[in-house]
Amino acid sequence: MPELGLFPLSLVLVPTEQLPLHIFEPRYRELIAECLETGGEFGLVLATGDGAVHEVGTRARVMQVLETLEDGSSNIVIEGGDRFRLLELTSGRSFTTAEVEPVLDDDDPPDPADVARALQLFTQLADEVDAEIELPDEDAAQLDFELAALVDIGVDPKQELLASTSPRERMKRLAELLGIALEAVRLEKTVHARAGQNGKVAPLDPER
């Protein structure tokens, strides 16, 4: 079974998502250089903070090298591909490697009502923060991940979505997370507005 080079980070990459990375450690410079040379992928996994990693990660491909610095470090853009599950960690390279298997979804399509709700909440959230973001296609095969890639929903909830194999439950949960994000943004704007009136933050009136 082919091995996959792993890049543990304190972030989650979902399919379709693009992220900038600064590569500076020699072992990961080696991993990225190999991927660039072969056109291959590496596995981005969420580090737990105690030296371990989460079981489900995302294959990543280097889309662009933005800058290569004099010290050998570089700034790149990666894109999330298929998900994988760790089977066994392996050794022999400067970076961690592992045998992996694909993570496949169950035959459990999302509820159209949850799809509509998620799109509505995403649109409202974008309006609240004055972000000019193109709305993903409602019929996109990975609509849930496309939406999750565009909103900061937190590392743990994002990992939860990544590991889910039920499109129905994933979309339902995503709609809940978008609702929470929208409420948080609106609350922050209300607090700032009230603080700007007299320099103090007044208690929020639940009746308003």
CA distance 202 to 171: 36
**pLDDT at residue 207, rounded to an integer:** 46
Same domain for 72 and 95, yes or no, is yes
Q: Which of 53, 68, 102 is the last residue of a domain?
A: 102
How wide is the angle at C-alpha 39 spanned by C-alphas 34 and 44, nearest 5°? 70
> Which CATH number covers residue 75?
2.30.130.40
Amino acid identity at 186: R
Same domain for 46 and 80, yes or no, is yes
Same domain for 95 and 7, yes or no, is yes
Instruction: Kindly state whether residue 151 falls inside one of the protein's structural domains.
Output: yes
Instruction: Kindly state whether residue 205 falls inside one of the protein's structural domains.
Output: no
Same domain for 65 and 152, yes or no, is no
Instruction: Kindly state whether residue 206 falls inside one of the protein's structural domains.
Output: no
How remote is the C-alpha of 108 from its chain's centroid? 22
Per-residue pLDDT of the chain (208 residues; tens, 9 = 90+): 678 999 999 999 999 999 999 999 999 999 999 999 999 999 999 998 777 899 999 999 999 999 999 999 999 999 999 999 999 999 889 999 999 999 999 999 999 999 999 999 999 999 998 888 888 888 899 999 999 999 999 999 999 999 999 999 999 999 999 999 999 989 887 776 666 655 544 444 444 4
Same domain for 95 and 120, yes or no, is no
**pLDDT at residue 197, rounded to an integer:** 58
Instruction: Kindly state whether residue 173 falls inside one of the protein's structural domains.
Output: yes
Q: Which of 80, 102, 124 is the last residue of a domain?
A: 102
**pLDDT at residue 188, rounded to an integer:** 84
Instruction: Kindly state whether residue 208 falls inside one of the protein's structural domains.
Output: no
Same domain for 122 and 83, yes or no, is no
Question: Which of 190, 120, 179, 127 is CA-nearest to residue 153?
Answer: 179
Q: Which of 55, 70, 102 is the last residue of a domain?
A: 102
Number of compact structural domains in the chain: 2
**pLDDT at residue 208, rounded to an integer:** 43
H-helix or E-strand spanning residue 35: helix 26-38
Residue 197's Cβ-side half-sphere holds a number of Cα atoms within 13 Å equal to 7
**The pTM of the whole model exceeds 0.95:** no
Instruction: Kindly state whether residue 98 falls inside one of the protein's structural domains.
Output: yes
Q: What is the end-to-end Cα distance of the chain in Å, rounded?
A: 60
8 Å CB contact between 149 and 206: no
Same domain for 98 and 120, yes or no, is no
Q: Tell me the two tokens of residue 72.
A: 């050998």
Same domain for 71 and 116, yes or no, is no
Per-residue b or e along 89-122, where b marks 16 or more CB atoms closer than 10 Å to that residue's CB:
eeeeeebbbbebeebeeeeeebeeebbebbbebb
Instruction: Kindly state whether residue 203 falls inside one of the protein's structural domains.
Output: no
8 Å CB contact between 17 and 111: no
Same domain for 31 and 71, yes or no, is yes
**165 Cβ partners below 8 Å, 6+ apart?**
103, 104, 105, 106
Same domain for 72 and 134, yes or no, is no
Same domain for 71 and 121, yes or no, is no
**pLDDT at residue 20, rounded to an integer:** 97
CA distance 208 to 205: 6
Same domain for 173 and 91, yes or no, is no
CA distance 97 to 91: 6
Instruction: Kindly state whether residue 204 falls inside one of the protein's structural domains.
Output: no
Question: Which of 93, 82, 65, 81 is CA-nearest to residue 6?
Answer: 93
**pLDDT at residue 64, rounded to an integer:** 97
**pLDDT at residue 194, rounded to an integer:** 67
CA distance 88 to 123: 41
Residue numbers of the domain that contains 170? 112-198
